[in-house]
Amino acid sequence: MGLPEQPSAGERVILSDHPHWTTLIQTIILLILTVAAAVAAILFLPDSDVQAQVRLGIVAVALIIAIVVSVVPFLRWFATRYELTEQGLVIREGILSRSVRTIPIGRVNDASHSQRLIERMLGKGTLIVESGGERGRLVLKNVPDVDNWHQQIYRLIDDMADGVRDGR
């Protein structure tokens, strides 16, 4: 049975985000290089009727390359979503086919995060969640505001522990 795209009724989403925008830097650079190469190739061709067809071919190839190197990665980034709800951590991925992984808060054994200097300056990092189960470790790279995600996971764990101690 598939999981719903939205949280169940009464379940509150605490955090929800895509991977950090910097995951698209390579895509942006490739797009700029593709356009620059196509413009350079068109400008350096001498004028003639045959070259008009070659120019059109260059534009067509550049357009195909631009779609492959920019649109597909952008859609993949856009279709990837990290959510933290009161019930657990949900990771949704996929453009045409969809993959959803859920880790209930009650199964989280440990959470940690790491940030290199440049990641701290950009406001992103790697979140590592250890859980009981067959696929025990989840590593999420390029999580925006990773420190807040880490804190919120532990707050939920503490809230759940308080509920168990209070008999809820």
Give the pLDDT of residue 165. Answer: 54
CA 40, CA 43: separation in Å to the nearest integer? Answer: 5
pLDDT, mean of residues 120-131 = 95
pLDDT, mean of residues 119-146 = 91
pLDDT above 50: residue 46: yes
pLDDT, mean of residues 16-39 = 94
First to last CA, the chain: 29
Confidence of residue 149 (pLDDT cuts 50, 70, 90): very high
pLDDT above 90: residue 121: yes
CA 112, CA 139: separation in Å to the nearest integer? Answer: 10
At 72 the three-state DSSP class reads: helix
Closest CA to 130 of 163, 151, 105, 161: 105
CA 147, CA 128: separation in Å to the nearest integer? Answer: 11
pLDDT above 70: residue 167: no
pLDDT, mean of residues 79-85 = 96
Which residues are bridge partners to 164 per DSSP?
none
Please answer whether residues 3 and 102 qualify as being in contact, where contact means their C-beta atoms are separated by less than 8 angstroms: yes
Please answer whether residues 106 and 128 qualify as being in contact, where contact means their C-beta atoms are separated by less than 8 angstroms: no
The pLDDT tens digits of the residues spanning 52-76 come to 788 889 999 999 999 988 988 999 9
Give the pLDDT of residue 10. Answer: 63
Higher-pLDDT residue of 148, 46: 148
CA 160, CA 144: separation in Å to the nearest integer? Answer: 25
